[in-house]
Structure formats: structure tokens, C-alpha cells
Structure 1
Amino acid sequence: MGSKERILRLKDETRAKILDAALNIAKMEGWQALSMRKIAEQIEYTAPIIYEYFANKEGILLELTRKGYRILTKHIIDARERYEKNEDKMEAMWIAYWNFAFTHKEFYRLMYGVDMVRCSNSSCIPETDNLYEILAEVIAALFTKKPISEDIICLKYNTYWSVIHGLVSINLIHLNWRTTDALNQQILKDAIKVITLSINS
């Protein structure tokens, strides 16, 4: 390996260390506690070196938001590929979304601003469009009796998302103390089923 390749590899490794450190701080102390100084301390670098890779904390949050969407999208695609019927695909994809929210809580909180300030640039990243398109394709395939338009698909997507994100958020901030995991799963599946049935009713 030449010197140029070694330098590029070291830069990639340092960038990855910075992102891993930021995520680790969020897991231990919450996103509100994140600072460039804390990241530098955790990877035993000086703060100015961090600024060579990211202009500010917002840049780190944006990169982690994009990473979160990439992980979520992969889970949703994997779930979709396990089924043939569109109704089954839809349920599996939203259950994968639910599972991601609790397996990767810090990513989900950052991506959707649950009990924190959301990354200000996260609504304009291509990963969000990609996730929408993957889900919208299956939503469109569910329509067998009605003429459809992009507006209708968008409406149904937001109906699914609003209900499921609402349930996720309630549980992430521990407001839904009267439910169990089993009950939450049943509520989730019932909600998905009702919305799916409404498409061709």
C-alpha cells in the first residue's frame, strides 16, 4: 500500500472513530451532552483535529442521521424481500421500522427528534427520499380498486408513519407505562392492518 492510500485509510479510520465516539456519548449521556470537546477526549485527540473532519457538531449529527437512515432502509428492504404478498410486505416493513427504533434508539431519536432537537439539515438528505420511495412502492402496489396518484400514496404513507411513529415516540419517552411489549406489538399490527384495509375499502 502506497503512502497516499495509507493517508486516505487513516483519514477514513479517524472519521469513523469520531462518529463512533459521538454515538457512544449519546448512548451514555444523551444527544444533548454531545460536544466536540467530549468527542476529542474520548478518542484522545485534540479538539482542533475533530474540526479537520467536521466543521461543527451539526456536521457530525448530519452524518450520523444519514447513517441511521441507511441502516433503517436496509432493515426495511430485508423485511420486504421475505414476503410475496404486498399486505405481508407492508406489515413486515413497518414492523422492521418499529424494531429499528428500539434496537437503535439513539439513531431514531436523532433522525426524528424524539425528546431532542432534530438535526436541522436532516429533512433534505437523499436517504430520506430513498426510504420514502421504497415504502411508497409497496403502498402503491396495495391499490387494486382505486385510481391512485402520488398525492394519495403520500397521504397513505403519512398515515402509516404518523400512527407508528407516534406509538414509537410514546414508548421511547416512557409515557405508555400501562402497556407491555406484547400489547404494543398487537397495537402496531392492528394499526397497520386497519390502514392497509382502508386502501381498497
Structure 2
Amino acid sequence: MGIKERRERERQITRQAILDAALQIARQDSWSAVTIRKVGEQIEYSGPMVYEYFANKEAMLLALLQTGFERLLEAMQQARIRSDEFEVQMFDMANAYWDFAVHNRELYQLMHGLGGVPLDREATLLAVHDVCDLTQKVLIEWSQEVEISLPDPLGATEIIWSLLHGLVSLMLVDRIHDGEQRARNLMQQAIRDQLAAWKNKEKS
């Protein structure tokens, strides 16, 4: 490995350490408690050193947000390939989404504006695009498989996303009676009912 490659690798390691430190502070306190100074203290770096990697706190949090959606997309893609049946793919992807939220609570909060820290709307929409695109693609394939029409595939995608996100959010703040497993069951039932409603509407 040459000097240039080694320096770039070290830079990436430091960058990741900064992001990990920000996430750790959020877990311990909250996203609003994350500051450049605290992140620097966490990894024993000065504030100016952290600024060499991120222009400000928002840039740091946006990098975490983007990483979160990339990881979520990968999890949903892996779930999708387990079956050739599009309805099964939809439920497998929903479960992957759920698992991601459960195991990455603080990151999920940041990704969906629940951490109390407003982030740039355009950057957020760009980060979420591929997750929505994958969901929409599977919904369209499902509709073709069951021979129905979805006049507004994006709207259908947003409905499925709202079902997932709504129940996940309630579960994360302990607002679902009997806890996480019942909340997951409700999520699966909600999606099942919505798919059935689209099919029945086509037949009526």
C-alpha cells in the first residue's frame, strides 16, 4: 500500500470514528446533545480536527443519516432475494425494515426526524430515494403478478411506508400494548389488509 492509499485509509478510519462517537453520544444522551466538541472529546481529538472532516454538526448527522439509509437498503435487498414471490418479498422487506429499526433505534430516529434535530429536507429526500424506489418496484411487480392496477405506485409506496413507520415509531416509544412482538404482528396485519384492499378494490 502506497503512502497516498495509507493516508486515505487512515482518513476513512478517523471519519468513521467520528460518526461512531456521535452515535454513542446520542445513545447515552440524545441527538440534541451531540456537538462537535463532545465528539472530539469522545475520540480524544480537538474540535478543529473534527472540522477537518465535517464542516459542522449538520454535515456530520447527514453523513450518519445517509449511512443509515444505505444499511437499511442493503438489509431490504437481502430480504427480497429470499423468495421469488412478490408478496412474500414485501413481507420479508417489511420485517427487515422492522429489524433495522429495533436494532438501530437512535439511528432510525435521526433518519426519520425523530431525534429533535432538523436536517436539510432535500438531502434527506435524496438519502431515502433508493429505499422508496425498491419498495415501489416490488409493489408494481406484485400488482402485475395478481393482475391489478396501481394507478399511483408512489402513493401506494407511501401508504406502505406510513404503515411501517407509524407502528415502528409507536413501538419505539412504548405506545403499543404488549410490546414489540404484538407491534410487529400488527404491522404484518396492516400490510396484509392493505394488499387485500387493493385487490378487492380492483374486483369491485
**Using the alignment, how far apart are the partners of 1:156 and 1:128 within structure 2?**
16
Of 149, 155, 160, which residue of structure 2 is paired with 1:147? 149
Deviation at 1:86, TM superposition (A): 0.8
* Residue 123, structure 1, aligned to residue 124, structure 2: yes
Number of the residue aligned with 1:198: 197
Look up the SS of the partner of 1:53 in the other structure. coil
Deviation at 1:28, TM superposition (A): 1.2
Can you give the 5+ residue segments of structure 1 that lack an aligned partner in the other structure? none
Map residues 89-128 of structure 1 onto 2, 5 A cutoff.
89-121=89-121, 122-125=123-126, 127-128=127-128
Alignment deviations for residues 106-145 of structure 1 (CA, whole Å, 9 cap, x no partner): 11000001252342244242x4111111111110012143
Within 1, Cα distance between the matches of 2:125 and 2:115? Answer: 21
Q: Distance in 1 between matches of 2:199 and 2:175?
A: 34
**CA RMSD, aligned part only?**
1.5
TM-score, with normalisation over the residues of structure 1? Answer: 0.92
Do structure 1's residue 31 and structure 2's residue 58 form an aligned pair? no
SS of the residue 1:84 aligns to: coil
Query: 8 Å contact 1:87–1:142 — kept in the other structure?
Result: yes
Aligned residue-pair number = 197
Q: Alignment identity in percent?
A: 34
AA in 2 matched with 1:123 = T
Quick check: 2:89–2:138 contact (8 Å CA) kept in 1? yes
SS of residue paired to 1:62: helix
Aligned to 1:9: 9
TM-score by structure 2 length?
A: 0.90
Are 1:65 and 2:65 an aligned pair?
Answer: yes
Residue range with higher mean Cα deviation, 138-147 or 75-84: 138-147
1:70 is aligned with what amino acid? E
With over 3 angstroms needed to count, the CA separation of the structure-2 counterparts of 1:124 and 1:156, relative to structure 1, is closer
User: Residue in 2 aligned with 1:188?
Assistant: 187
Distance in 1, matches of 2:45 and 2:155, equals 48
Question: Which ranges of structure 2 fall in alignment gaps of 5 or more residues?
Answer: none
Once the two structures are superposed, residues 169-193 of structure 1 have per-residue CA deviations (whole angstroms, 9 ceiling, x without a partner) of: 11112223x2233321221111010
Contact 1:115/1:173 (8 A) holds in 2: no
- Rounded Cα–Cα distance in structure 2 between residues aligned with 1:148 and 1:160: 13
